[in-house]
Structure 1
Amino acid sequence: MGDKKLEETISEPGRGGSKRAALIVVAVVVALVAAGLGIWFAVSRPTEPGRADVARLDKQRVIVDNSMNLYDPLVQQFSGRYSNAISEKAGQAEVDKILSQDRERIVRESQANRDRLEHMAESPALQGQGVADSFNRFKDQYGAVIAYNDQLVINTTNIYRSVGGPCAALHSSLNVASESYAQDYVKSADECLAALGTAKDGADAETTTLLTEVEAVIRGQRDKQQEVLDSKDTFERLSKSTIAGLALLDINDAFAKAQTTYETATKDKYSKIIESANSSNSEFEGVLQKSLEQFDAASGEGK
């Protein structure tokens, strides 16, 4: 009995110490969790935008706006080099090299601008509803300019590959006085029509309309030359050949009309896109400047 009480007496301080240790551990854990929550709350809590945020956003706006000026020379360089390579029959390897190099420059510029717009979208300055709405319009309109230029590369490539490629041979390489002219024309026309059909893939509405109109002209001429080949006798062949030859006199007018329609439509489309982009830029600039003026007035710098 005495020994048992002694053991219980000795064990009591140990149990008391364990409870205190457990309480200390719990207290430490609670403190750490509370501290962690405090840090998380402080970090995650949105901070009020400062003047520097607005000024930085305005500088980014200027960079994006200025970068739009790079597209025209890049597209013109590509168009000139690519069309020359095709017209001069530089060879498929050279044509593909130009397409790869020049198109890559435009693609890189477009991606850089998209990245700039996405980076701007993360600005604390956009917490204000007015600034956010103005930026969204800016982003949408400048995104439309970027998309237009990306599409322009596709349109230009498709037009030169077809109209400037297989189709060009119809009225530049064939000998009208040759006895095999009708046969040569039909063969070349079939190659041209196949190229025009492929060129419509990925093209926009205006370019598709142009290619369709050119296709109709070529198909009409091709069918007339096929009638010459299908003639049963010399007289009919001569008659059909004369009709086909007279039809060729109108082909330039038909092409000119299609080209004028295309140029008018694309110019109008581009003008509207640029006008909308410039308008959104002016609006966004005005909103940011007003915000900067408010910061200056609040700090007394505007006095």
Structure 2
Amino acid sequence: MGDTSLEETASAPGRGSSKRTAIIAVLLVAALVAVGIGTWFALSRPAGTDRADVLRLDKHRVIVDNSMNLYDPLVQQFSGRYSNAISEKAGQPEEEKVLSLDRERIVRESAANRDRLEQMSESPALKDQKVAESFNRFKDQYTAVIAYNDQLLINTANIYRSVGGPCAALHSSLNVASESYSEDYVKSADECLAALGTAKDGADAETTTLLTEVESVIRGQRDKQQEVLNSKDSLERLAKSTVAAVALLDINEAFGKAQATYETASKDKYTKIIENANSSNTELEGVLKKSLEQFDAASGEGK
């Protein structure tokens, strides 16, 4: 019994040591796995990139996105003021004053937004390929929004200076009952057509189509009034005048159709641009959020 007791006594510490060794081994494996995860997060980050860079890029993303909301009131203000200046016949100096002042506001906003995007392009966070790819899409789409609003300023001014300017007099101030109506119409129509031709300069495809359709309607009516002037006798003049008068009744419908086509095309174009921008913003937001989570995970494992 004594020998057995000594044997048992001698063997007991050995079994305990084995269990402790196994536990320690498990703990070491767990620790190594944990350290490995933390190391993977750390090594997956490009050198020279830290959490502050990602946060800063995300803040600039929000600023750029919010700044897009400033365009609508700026464009609406310009549209209203410029339209009033032309319809009230305030004169060229006043029209140019409004155009210059309101255009400058939009130009400054666009310049500021382009500068923000360029500053974002220099972010160290873009060393991460996924962040860089997502940002490039964001930059492309928001640059398209900026360009759209810059173009909208040109389109609006060109439409008001032509359709709302010389062309408006054709169907608002001319006296249809006047003996000189045909002569007055031809003269005003020529001024209108010249303005429409100038308005196409710098206009986008949708606006050019609108101006071309209006031009076609005006030119058709102008030619009919010219035929009245070219009549050889009173009977022919009466017949030509009747044809021109009937055609004049359909002119509003033609203008309405051109306007509806323009509004639909412009709305579709704007909607697509905004949808693309929103999509790229959501994508970049998600990529940056994931990047921040990786930083937080690596930091948490290091504690």
Contact 1:182 1:228 in 2 (8 A): yes
2:183 maps to: 183
Question: Aligned partners of 2:137, 2:213: CA distance in 1, in Å?
Answer: 36
CA shift for structure 1 position 246: 0.7
Question: Aligned partners of 2:53, 2:198: CA distance in 1, in Å?
Answer: 49
- Corresponding letter in the other structure for 2:169: A
2:98 maps to: 98
CA shift for structure 1 position 302: 11
1:57 maps to: 57
Question: Aligned partners of 2:145, 2:253: CA distance in 1, in Å?
Answer: 33
- Corresponding letter in the other structure for 1:102: D
Does 1:297 find its partner at 2:297?
yes
Q: 1:65 to 1:258 in 2, by over 3 A?
A: same
Number of residue pairs matched by the alignment: 258
CA shift for structure 1 position 301: 8.0
The residue correspondences of 1:245-260 to structure 2 (distance < 5 A) are 245-260=245-260
Q: 1:301 to 1:112 in 2, by over 3 A?
A: farther
Identity %: 84
The residue correspondences of 1:226-265 to structure 2 (distance < 5 A) are 226-265=226-265
Contact 1:64 1:113 in 2 (8 A): yes
- Corresponding letter in the other structure for 2:262: Y
Contact 1:54 1:125 in 2 (8 A): yes
- Corresponding letter in the other structure for 1:127: K
The residue correspondences of 1:191-210 to structure 2 (distance < 5 A) are 191-210=191-210
1:85 maps to: 85
2:211 maps to: 211
Q: Give TM-score scaled by structure 2 length.
A: 0.84
**1:177 aligned counterpart, secondary structure:** coil
Question: Aligned partners of 1:196, 1:133: CA distance in 2, in Å?
Answer: 43
2:35 maps to: none
1:67 maps to: 67
The residue correspondences of 1:108-123 to structure 2 (distance < 5 A) are 108-123=108-123
2:153 maps to: 153
Unaligned runs of 5+ in 1: 1-45
1:277 maps to: 277
Question: Aligned partners of 2:117, 2:154: CA distance in 1, in Å?
Answer: 23
Contact 1:296 1:302 in 2 (8 A): no
Question: Aligned partners of 1:281, 1:302: CA distance in 2, in Å?
Answer: 32
Unaligned runs of 5+ in 2: 1-45
For residues 46-74 of structure 1, the C-alpha deviation after alignment (integer angstroms, 9 at most, x for no partner) is 95200000000000000000000000000
**Cα RMSD (Å):** 1.3
For residues 245-273 of structure 1, the C-alpha deviation after alignment (integer angstroms, 9 at most, x for no partner) is 01000000000000000000000000000
